[in-house]
Every structure is written in C-alpha cells, then in structure tokens.
Amino acid sequence: MKNPLFKIREAGKYGFINAEGTVVIEPQYYDAEAFYNNFSRVRFNDKLVPLDCMGRLLMKHLFNHVGYFEDGLAKVQLVKRWGYIDRRGSIAIDVQYDDAGDFHQGLAPANIDGKFGYIDKNGTFVIEPVFDTASEFKSDLAAISVDGLYGFINRKGKVVIEPQFESADSFQEEVAVIRHGDKWGIINTKGKVVIEPRFDIIEGFSEGEFFDGMALVAQDEQYGFINNQGKIVVNTMYDFAGDYGEQLALVEINEKFGYIDKSGKLVILPKFEDAGVFSDGLAQVKVKNEWGFIDTDGKFAIPARFEDVLPFKNGLAWVALGDKWAYIDRFGEVIWKEK
C-alpha cells in the first residue's frame, strides 16, 4: 500500500490515520480490520463490507460474506452460493459456485456439484472440476486431492506430483509441506521428499511458513529452523522460538529471550522477559514488566515504558498508554493518541 493507513479507536468506534498521524477515515465503525491489498473490511448493518483507502464503502451489493481482494477480485457469498466482485464492488463473476477460493496467478479453485476445478477471471472452468479439494496456485503448482490423497497439478491441469500424501499445502517457492499423522515434512517441486514427516504439528502454529527464507520447526517441545531448500540449519534445541525478521530470530533459553542469526549463532544475549519479531529494524522486548524496542545490535532504540505494544510496520507501532491506544514513530514519539 503506497500510503499505509493505521487502525485507530475513539469512543469505541474505529477509523484510520495516515503515517503522519492525521485522521483520514473518521472513527465511525464498531468493527474494522487492518488494510490488506488496499482494502479494509468494516462492519456495517451487521455485515462485513469492503472499505477503500478513500473511506468509500463497496455497497453496490450486500453479501453474507466478502473475502479479501487477491488478483483484483474478492470472493463473495450470497445465501449458499459464491461468486466474485471487482475493486468497484461490481459483480465480476456471477454467484453460482458451491464453494470458491482466492485468485492467484490468474486462476481460482471453484466447486460445482461437489467437485473442484479452476476458473479464470471470466468464470470459465479452464481446469475441469474433478478434484475432491483444491488450493490456490503458488509457484505454478496447486495442491489437489483425490480419494483422500493429496498431490499437485500444474496450470494446465496436468498432475505433476501424483496424489500420495495424507495432506499437503501450497508451495512456498521451492518446497511444500506434507503431513503424515501428527508430523509434517517437506517435498520439492519434483515431488521428492526432502525431509520425511518428523516435525511436530503444534496447535496455533503454522507448519512450514517461511520468513526470511527460514521456517520454524519443533521436535519433542524443542525448536529450531529449516531453510527454504529443506535443510535443517538450526537444530531443535531451544525452549521456544519465533519467526525470522531482519535476518534474526528470537529464541528462549532458561526462560529468557534473545536472538540468533541465520547460522544459529546467538547474537543478542537472552536477557529479556519476553520479546517479538524484528520488523522495520526494531523488535519489541519486555524488561521489568514494561515494553520497549531494540535495534539489531541489541541496543534500546526506544526505552521500555509501555504496558503493551505491537511490532513496527510501515514506520509506526501501536502501543498502549494506560487504557488508551496510541501510535509511536521510530524515535518513540507519540504521533497519535486516543482521547
């Protein structure tokens, strides 16, 4: 988003400010989501309605559900059928499918009469609906299932990795997650198993989600990392760990948090009560029950003085000042505060 907007709260209603702290969408909604692909979703008459960055609601039609915009279209549900709207809120593909997914790489999975295929932006099936399940295309491949087994097809609909896995996710560049029982592993784009399912599936954690080319793994309640080639680069040896950001990842050792680099070397000693992921060059850390922000050298850039914080994004961070919302800049200056 060229000019990012930030969610604010006043008198129990939500609106948005810009990066300078100027209110650009007045707080008027009882529920609002962060902007994604230039749209928020706000609650209006008990329905989630897309809101653009000019504060305009897409209200040509009201739906039971409106998804996120991907590839310029958002899936919508009316009663029990699905279709798609464009960025002006006009119906781009008629509501007609039993189920539907998001567009990626020009195609979207859609279900009709109990089977999934893939449609183009005209709503035409370009890959016939013959699959039991189907996911979005990533890296020119999509995970599908037939008779309870998962494999992958290419954009022409040809099966390139035969259905053989209990479960599989979309590819992230060169690798995809597969599952067997309560374990997960990694395959490459040729379908070769790079890492046999051996990592624990942990509730609340995404399996094989890569950040900075690294993904968190766990075995026997110990955490480590693999890279996006499927190689174990940090052995499972930490009590807890968080995702990589700015080439560093947070780890827990003896109930204290520090940071390692991508080789696994400890570069910021574990001395914090709690900590978060690096973003915009800073990470939130907790000392004496208060939060502040450190730089990638481990030095405090913003002293610990807040009751609660969220990571920096697009130059600002949300913080709690008592029971009030506020936003600070990278110098720790408050640029907006709830009245």
State the pTM of this model: 0.92
**Residues 13-67 pLDDT 10s:** 999 999 999 999 999 999 999 999 999 999 988 889 999 999 999 999 989 999 9
Q: Which of 267, 273, 270, 298 is nearest to 283 (CA)?
A: 298
pLDDT of residue 229: 86
In a domain, 47, yes or no: no
What was the pLDDT predicted at 242? Answer: 95
Q: Does position 293 have pLDDT exceeding 80, yes or no?
A: yes
Are 64 and 75 in contact by the 8 Å Cβ rule? The answer is no
Residue 236 forms part of a structural domain: yes
- Position 280 scores a pLDDT of 97
Residues 163, 194: one domain?
yes
- Identify whether 127 is part of a domain: no
Cβ neighbours of residue 135 closer than 8 Å, sequence gap 6 or more: 101, 109, 142, 143, 144, 169, 170
Q: Is residue 55 part of a domain?
A: no
Q: Which of 271, 294, 316 is the last residue of a domain?
A: 271
Q: In what order do the strands lie in the sheet with 324-328?
A: 308-309, 317-321, 324-328, 334-337
- Final residue in a domain of this structure, among 249, 271, 293: 271
Same domain, 193 and 231: no
Counting residues of the chain whose pLDDT is more than 90, the rounded percentage is: 94
Percent of the chain with pLDDT over 70: 100
pLDDT at 68 over 80: yes
Does 284 share its domain with 329?
yes
- Residue-level pLDDT at 119: 98
* Count of structural domains, the chain: 3
- Integer Cα distance of 190 and 213 in angstroms: 20
**What are the pLDDT digits (tens) for 134-193?**
999 999 999 999 999 999 999 999 999 999 999 999 999 899 999 999 999 999 999 999
> Which of 269, 227, 272, 275 has the alpha carbon at shortest distance from 250?
275
pLDDT at 1 over 80: no
Task: Give domain status of residue 297, yes or no.
Answer: yes
Which of 2, 11, 12, 19 has its CA nearest to residue 336? 19
Tell me the one-letter amino acid at 208: G
Domain-located, residue 15: no
pLDDT at 49: 95
**What's the token pair of residue 274?**
């709690």
Residue 124 clears pLDDT 80, i.e. is over it: yes
Q: Judging by DSSP bridges, how do beta strands 133-134 and 141-146 pair with one another?
A: antiparallel
More confident residue, 47 or 297: 297
- 212 with 225: CB under 8 angstroms? no
The DSSP annotation for 80-146 comes to TEEEEE-TTS-EEEEEEESEE---BTTBEEEEETTEEEEE-TTS-EEEEEEESEE---BTTEEEEEE
Domain that holds residue 329: 279-339
- When pLDDT is averaged across residues 84-111 and rounded to a whole number, the result is 98
Whether residue 43 lies inside any domain: the answer is: no
CATH number for the domain including 324? 2.40.10.480
* pLDDT band of 259, cuts 50, 70, 90: very high
Is residue 193, in this structure, part of any structural domain at all? Answer: yes
Q: Say if residue 182 is in the same domain as residue 162.
A: yes
Q: Contact 259/248 with Cβ under 8 angstroms?
A: yes
Q: How confident is the model at residue 118 (pLDDT cuts 50, 70, 90)?
A: very high
CB 241 within 8 A of CB 224: yes
What is the rounded average pLDDT for all residues in the chain? 96
Q: Which of 183, 208, 233 is the last residue of a domain?
A: 208
Q: Do the Cβ atoms of 191 and 241 come closer than 8 Å?
A: no
- Domain co-membership, 203 together with 219: no
